[in-house]
Chains A and B, each alone.
Chain A
Amino acid sequence: MYQIEKLTKTYTQGKRTVHALRDVSLRIEDGELLSVQGPTGGGKSTLLQALGGLDRPTSGSVVLDGKDLATMNDAGLTRVRAETVGFVFQNFNLIPTLTAQENVETALVPAGMTKEERARRALDALESVGLGERADHLPDELSGGQQQRVAIARALVKNPTVLLADEPTGNLDEDTRDEIIDLLEGLWKEQGLTLVMVTHDSAVAARTPRRIRIAKGRLKELTGA
């Protein structure tokens, strides 16, 4: 799935240079479930952004299914984001003015399909996360766990091959956390996804077959791959 070589990302803010990632090399197989741990500011989110084609690295390569995201043009990256990669965020990132169903539909907008097909697929996705009944609710009218379910439905409705989750349970209580992890695990198994999940939570990381740690921009395998 992914072949990452000598990935380096530096941010310059005025005179200060931050090395978010330093010479990270990593191989991720199709259908793997991978957790990324590490201290805050270690570079976890930066890695996820590179994997999802949200940002180009400073140097190195991120080859996804044979194509290097590091050198891809904007239109290519937009297509990767629209078709191949789904994101789940710590803060859910739902659009507050749109209903659950409409939020899920936003992920289908780039694909271009009829209004009816889009609505049907969004409803299916909501049902698969157990929220078929709440399709017409605004994010504000949903609990944190329910909002993250909507966000997961939005990430998966386009049938991506990769799901990138940045602290998906970071804003949830323990019970809801387990529900969401169960859900993600179930979907991973069911759909044969490649799932990369950033987490602070060792209990969550313990459930994943492969664990890596990123601190100060350097990567360390925690499991013998």
Chain B
Amino acid sequence: MAQVTMRSLNKMYDEVHAVKDVNLDIRDKEFVVLVGPSGCGKTTTLRMVAGLESITSGRVLINDKVVNELAPMDRDIAMVFQNYALYPHMSVYDNMAFGLKMRKFDKPEIQKRVREAADVLGIGEYLKRKPRQLSGGQRQRVALGRAIVRHPQVFLFDEPLSNLDAKLRVQMRVELKKLHQRLGTTAIYVTHDQVEAMTLGDRVVVMRDGWVQQVGDPMTLYNEPANRFVAGFIGSPAMNFADVRIAGENGGLWAEGEGIRLKVPAHLDNRVGAYAGKPVTIGIRPEDMRVARDSDPPELNIPAVVEVVERLGSEILLDVAVGSVTMVASVEPISRAKVHEQLQLAINPERLHFFDAETEAAI
């Protein structure tokens, strides 16, 4: 049972305002991921929850109890560090047992818990080795083991997979997810990788420059990004953006830009209508574009010139020039589009995004 709450959390280093007014309510058993570009304050936020960094202003609560002044050891949390931070002079067994020893568990209990954790993580045969004698993936498991033997209230992860190679990272990601489903311990997970965030998080917190941009479950972030930053950060390949102007004509609204003239879908008329005559940014995800057929209505097509064709097997990515901007469209693998070919791309009107050109907020 553990909720973690952050109230108006701020962190000032001498010059840098690293974390700005963060408010979060993390529920019991929830897996929450903080994601954002490097330097956006994720680690600092996590370290304030851990008690490794002093809190400039605001509060951190664990189970409704303010823990601002509690030492890390008294917060009943466990943390997995990016570089594992294993004790190099201790065996794998001692690394995992250390926290229990310090908390004065008796020997049989320590042995039982370390065994259990080692079995779950598949490192039972390495217990006598030193960290130096393990591969990166094995060290990562030991670091996880050290965290889970204590049965803490909250797990804190700081980019735990970023030192692994791509394949191992995917594998460990799945294992982490399983581990969480099995243990049900509340977890806060920091990463700069939006794929990791989307796959692991029950909810995802997108941060930028110390501010929280949006909090939501992965599909909400994907389908209803709160602003242009979130829209561009979540999803790969990234969303395409184009600057347009809203014009009213023939009882409908049109988004007109360089090389673009799209009819605004009727269900958006109310919201977009307020921007008539003003500049906005439209956002189109690569998978919401396809090569147009004759039956597609021309007012939802964009003319484009193919610049690069990337064949990924399950899909083909077309890098195209639309006016002066470059866009990426993900099209069916059977497409025969060729470089320099001129074609029409059909837009899925249901999934068109509009952003205020000034505030970048979603319209």
Q: Does B bind A?
A: no
A residues with a Cβ closer than 8 A to B are none
B residues with a Cβ closer than 8 A to A are none
